[in-house]
Structure 1
Amino acid sequence: MSAAADTIEPEGSPSSQIRPVALARWLFAVAALVTLIVAVGGITRLTESGLSITEWKPVTGALPPLTEAHWQTEFEAYQQIGEYQQVAGPQGMTLEQYKFIYFWEWFHRLIGRVIGLVFAVPLAWFWLKGAIPPGYKPRLLALLALGGLQGAFGWFMVRSGLNTEMTDVSHFWLSIHLLTALFTLAGLIWTARDLLVLDKDSGAKPTRLTGLSLLTAIILFIQLLLGAWVAGLNAGLASDSWPLMQGRLFPEIGWNNGFLWTLTHDPFLLHWLHRWWAWVAVAALIVMARALKKAGDRPASIYIHSAFGIQILLGIATVMTMVELWIAVAHQLVGALLVAATAWGAHRLGQRGT
Structure 2
Amino acid sequence: MITDIEKGAAVRGTAATDGRKAVITWLTVVTVLVFAMIVLGGVTRLTNSGLSMTEWKPITGWLPPLDEAAWVAEFERYKTFPEYQKINKGMSLDAFKRIYAFEYAHRVLGRVIGLAFFVPFVVLLLLRKIPKSMAPRLALLFLLGAAQGGMGWFMVKSGLVDHPDVSHYRLTAHLGLASLIFAALLWTIFDLVERNRPPAAPAPDRLRRASYFLLALIALQILVGGFVAGLSAGFIYTDWPMMGGTFIPDDFLSLQPWFHNFLENPSTIQFTHRMLGYAILIAGIWFFLISRGADVDRRLRNGALVLLALILLQVILGILTLLYVVPVSLGAKHQGGGMLVLAAALYVLHRIRAASPAKAAGQPRG
- Verify same fold: TM over 0.5: yes
Q: Is the 1:16–1:130 contact (alpha carbons within 8 Å) kept by the matching residues of 2?
A: no
Q: Is the 2:255–2:265 contact (alpha carbons within 8 Å) kept by the matching residues of 1?
A: no
Distance change in 2, residues 1:32/1:171 (3 Å): same
Q: Is the 1:21–1:199 contact (alpha carbons within 8 Å) kept by the matching residues of 2?
A: no
1:7 and 2:12 aligned? yes
SS in 2 for 1:329: helix
SS in 2 for 1:88: coil
Cα distance in structure 1, aligned partners of 2:261 and 2:88: 28
Distance change in 2, residues 1:151/1:269 (3 Å): same
Q: Is the 1:20–1:199 contact (alpha carbons within 8 Å) kept by the matching residues of 2?
A: no
State TM-score, norm by structure 1.
0.90
Distance change in 2, residues 1:6/1:81 (3 Å): farther
Q: Which amino acid counterpart does residue 48 of structure 2 have in structure 1?
A: E
Distance change in 2, residues 1:6/1:23 (3 Å): farther
1:347 and 2:350 aligned? yes
Cα distance in structure 1, aligned partners of 2:342 and 2:140: 19
Q: Is the 2:75–2:93 contact (alpha carbons within 8 Å) kept by the matching residues of 1?
A: yes
Q: Is the 2:194–2:354 contact (alpha carbons within 8 Å) kept by the matching residues of 1?
A: no
SS in 2 for 1:61: coil
- Equivalent residue for 1:222, pick from 220, 223, 227: 220
Q: Is the 1:53–1:78 contact (alpha carbons within 8 Å) kept by the matching residues of 2?
A: yes
1:56 and 2:56 aligned? yes
- Output one character per residue of 1:26-80: Cα deviation in whole Å (capped at 9) or x when no partner: 1111111111111111110000000000111112211111011111121112112
| Within-5 A mapping of 1:1-354 | 7=12, 18-89=18-89, 92-163=90-161, 165-198=162-195, 200=197, 211-253=209-251, 254-293=253-292, 294=294, 295-296=296-297, 297=299, 298-352=301-355
Give the root-mean-square deviation of aligned CA atoms: 2.4
Which structure 2 segments of 5+ residues have no match? 1-5, 199-206, 358-366
Cα distance in structure 1, aligned partners of 2:133 and 2:241: 49
Which structure 1 segments of 5+ residues have no match? 10-14, 202-208
Cα distance in structure 1, aligned partners of 2:335 and 2:353: 27
Q: Is the 1:161–1:167 contact (alpha carbons within 8 Å) kept by the matching residues of 2?
A: yes
SS in 1 for 2:172: helix
- Output one character per residue of 1:174-208: Cα deviation in whole Å (capped at 9) or x when no partner: 1111111111111111111111122547xxxxxxx
Q: Is the 1:157–1:169 contact (alpha carbons within 8 Å) kept by the matching residues of 2?
A: yes
Q: Highest Rg: 1 or 2? A: 2
Deviates more, 1:299-308 or 1:279-288: 279-288
Q: Is the 1:30–1:115 contact (alpha carbons within 8 Å) kept by the matching residues of 2?
A: yes
Q: Is the 1:30–1:118 contact (alpha carbons within 8 Å) kept by the matching residues of 2?
A: yes
Q: Is the 1:34–1:115 contact (alpha carbons within 8 Å) kept by the matching residues of 2?
A: yes
SS in 1 for 2:58: coil
Q: Is the 1:230–1:271 contact (alpha carbons within 8 Å) kept by the matching residues of 2?
A: yes
1:149 Cα shift?
1.4
Cα distance in structure 2, aligned partners of 1:5 and 1:98: 61
1:261 Cα shift?
2.2
1:290 Cα shift?
4.2
Distance change in 2, residues 1:213/1:143 (3 Å): farther
Cα distance in structure 1, aligned partners of 2:341 and 2:117: 22
Cα distance in structure 1, aligned partners of 2:24 and 2:277: 31
1:306 Cα shift?
1.8
Q: Which amino acid counterpart does residue 185 of structure 2 have in structure 1?
A: L
Distance change in 2, residues 1:81/1:330 (3 Å): same
SS in 1 for 2:56: coil
1:339 Cα shift?
1.2
Percent of residue pairs identical: 37
Cα distance in structure 2, aligned partners of 1:211 and 1:244: 32
SS in 2 for 1:63: coil
- Output one character per residue of 1:318-340: Cα deviation in whole Å (capped at 9) or x when no partner: 11011111011110111111111
